[in-house]
A and B are shown apart, each in its own frame.
Chain A
Amino acid sequence: MAALKKMLLLVSAALQGACVATPTTPSTESMQAAVLIQHSVETSSLLNQAVSSALNGAKVSLASRALTQTSDVQVERTTQDPASMPGLNGQLMEVPKAYHFSLRKQGSQCYLVYQKTGQAFLLEGVKCRVLEG
């Protein structure tokens, strides 16, 4: 298990080294709702990193095709069971708290915006398009 974790960390670090989600403070008022033009492992990694940064380093695993159809995404604590403990999370009395993010475009740049704080994360190298209608 330790080796597996180490490998995951290495892969994650390698992917994140290619391009970095940069937290910025631009005005989000002039930004337009957007969707990703194409999903990829690299884009997912960047989005995960941005969400993680907004949430003080939380582990994040967005769906690979998130933000390809809609400009908003909601994340919450996973209710998947650990592989070694099936059924563990099967009886949840509480609804996990949700955190809301939006993809926005300004000029040629794409940003992930944490709705609670308004903080925008520049997604360098990511291509998106303004959502029509």
Chain B
Amino acid sequence: MINKRILTLFVLSVPFLSACGGGSGDSSTTPVASVPAPTWNQGVFASESNFKNRCENPRTGSDINGDAYPDIAGSKLYEKHWLRSWSNNTYLWYDEIIDSDPASIDDPIDYFDQLVTTAETPSGTPRDQFHFAQDTTEYLQLTSGGAALSYGARFKLIKASPPREGRIAYVEPNSPAADANFTRGTEIIAIDGVDFINGGDTDTLNKGLFPDVAGEEHTFIVRDLGQTTTRSVVLKAEVVTNEPVKATRIINTPSGKVGYLALNTFGTRNTEIALAEAMEELAEESPDDLVLDLRYNGGGLVAISAQLGYMIAGSALSDDKVFTKTVFNAKHPTNDPRTGNTLIPVPFIDTTLGLVTGTAIQPLPSLNLNRVFVLSSGSTCSASELLINALRGIDVDVVLIGDTTCGKPYGFSPTDNCGTTYSTIQFRSENEKGFGDYADGFSPNNAPAFIGESVQGCQVTEDVMHPLGDEQEVMLKAALEYRNTSTCPPVTASRAETIDVEGNLKNDPYFKKRQLLEQIRMDYLRTTYK
């Protein structure tokens, strides 16, 4: 059996190793003042520790843990040489980087942008879409409960060009949108006096949809689902906490009980308890099947995904099995290059880990199922895909209902140097069977021109005309139908739409900056590149 105690210690201890300044995890990087100015020898890479923390503008004072910043005087050249050596050591496709002279590019971030593979996936998508640098203070920004600035509503642009159609996909409880009685399906008619359906002032519309600061107010005219009249409401933006579990219920069918669970994130500590409680509620009913709704779940903590894997499959199927195994580049077959630790696969986890302070470690419930229906979209990403892959790895039948998932079988530890935090892909994830090749996502196998890893199921285009968990909701309805007849509804028109048309909200640069755009943009990327 995989030692779950070791895993628990791993999960809980790593942040303390890496908490300082974004966490380099490199314990041997104390700079040596006498190191000479770096020079470039093509194809020859000195240890990154020779260049670490030698900064053009060293930080002074203390970080959020009270530890002094490790920076000492250096230069941009040192920073670029650190990037070069660090990438050569840890980047998953290090041997596909074209080695260029750090002195040939002035800005370290511009240089970092070059330290990436140019290879493409079979569908033609850039293989590495997750190469990113950000200011460390931004990376370390603190929130409570996954909170983010919004109205507490997720907008779905069913049609972004005139005549537009925009509706509410879901509402966070205890939020301005909930206070305004918005529900799934509520249609947007106008924002701040601009006609949402046909209006040309996309700037006003986007600024209304995606507020910039807390306290910002915008006037919406909306039409509630099933109503013919409209109403006006003023929404005031605030920092809203995300509720991970959006719906839990048991559906009684002639062929047995079907559990339904809508889980929107693995990304907060609170998810651990909320998910365990929801699964306990379902387990008490001993359902014959489970429909797991991950259409809005962009991932998060791998440990919680591994807990859900256990709660679906149970001990008989998951004990001694790998949930996910991290595979680094060929230089590091047995050890994590970031810590030096021996690589340990993540098992299916059968207890809570006490992620919420004050909660005890307790056994988790399980449904003991050998089949699960997963509702998916282009926003189903990362730790959600890890779950799909892990379950397939232990021969749990996964039936995919919805759309192709995002395709991110990769991970990394963002690493600070001189006040910038760099994210570069360092490992790929494999399941019990050693499979992890889903960079084009998982696709229902009835899609007319599917891409990615084919999974049995049905391509279904979401609408938002019924509540999540309602048996008439189009994706859940298709899952229940497939369960009974193994047939899919007719494939509807592709979600792809022409972006570059006048009046398309997605065309507006402002739109692309907004926080709530994340998942919508992912859909956009998929329809554009694939």
Contact = CB atoms under 8 A, between A and B. Distances in A.
A94 B147 contact: no
Contacts of B63: 56
A41 interface: yes
Nearest to B378: A86
Interface stretch (B44-52, B130-138, B449-457): B130-138
Nearest to B131: A85
A74 B241 CA distance: 12
Nearest to A56: B62
Contact of B381 (A66, A79, A86): A86
A39 B410 CA distance: 40
A95 B12 contact: yes
Given A41-B214, A58-B141, A93-B326, A63 B355 contact: no
Nearest to A80: B148
B386 interface: yes
A94 B413 contact: yes
A76 B143 contact: yes
Interface in A37-88: 39, 41, 44, 51, 55-66, 73-88
Nearest to A68: B174
B142 A92 contact: no
A86 B519 contact: yes
Given A83-B515, A93-B326, A77 B147 contact: no
A83 B514 contact: yes
B149 to A, nearest CB: 7
Nearest to B129: A87
A90 B381 contact: yes
Interface in B188-234: 212-215
B61 interface: yes
Given A51-B142, A87-B299, A56 B239 contact: no
A81 B383 CA distance: 14
A13 interface: no
A104 B174 CA distance: 23
B383 A82 contact: no
Contact of A90 (B138, B140, B353, B382): B382
Interface string B503-515: 0000000001111
Most buried by B among A44, A96, A98: A96
7 contacts: A4-B513, A57-B137, A58-B64, A63-B239, A77-B140, A83-B517, A90-B300
Interface of A: 1, 4, 7-8, 11, 39, 41, 44, 51, 55-66, 73-100
A79 B386 CA distance: 17
A95 B132 contact: no
Nearest to A66: B144
Nearest to A64: B238
Contacts of B212: 4, 7-8
Contact of A91 (B14, B299, B517): B299
Nearest to B379: A86
A80 B346 CA distance: 23
B142 A64 contact: no
Contacts, number: 198
A74 B144 contact: yes
Contact of A76 (B137, B138, B142): B142
Interface stretch (B15-23, B107-115, B246-254): B15-23
Given A56-B62, A94-B413, A75 B132 contact: no
Nearest to A82: B134
Contacts of A82: 132, 134, 138
A87 B130 contact: yes
B420 interface: no
B126 interface: no
B268 interface: yes
Contacts of B401: none
Contacts of B238: 39, 41, 44, 64-65
A11 B443 CA distance: 45
Given A74-B269, A90-B382, A59 B137 contact: yes
A98 B137 contact: no
B132 A91 contact: no
A87 B142 contact: no
B214 A64 contact: yes
B301 interface: yes
A15 B422 CA distance: 32
Contact of A89 (B15, B267, B326): B267
B412 to A, nearest CB: 8
Nearest to A72: B357
Contacts of A89: 267, 299-300, 382
B518 A79 contact: no
Interface in B46-77: 61-66
B522 interface: yes
A83 B140 contact: no
Most buried by A among B66, B299, B383, B408: B299
A84 B507 CA distance: 14
B240 to A, nearest CB: 7
Contacts of A84: 512-513
Given A58-B140, A63-B144, A83-B518, 10 more contacts: A7-B212, A41-B238, A55-B142, A74-B145, A78-B148, A88-B132, A88-B423, A90-B382, A92-B383, A99-B142
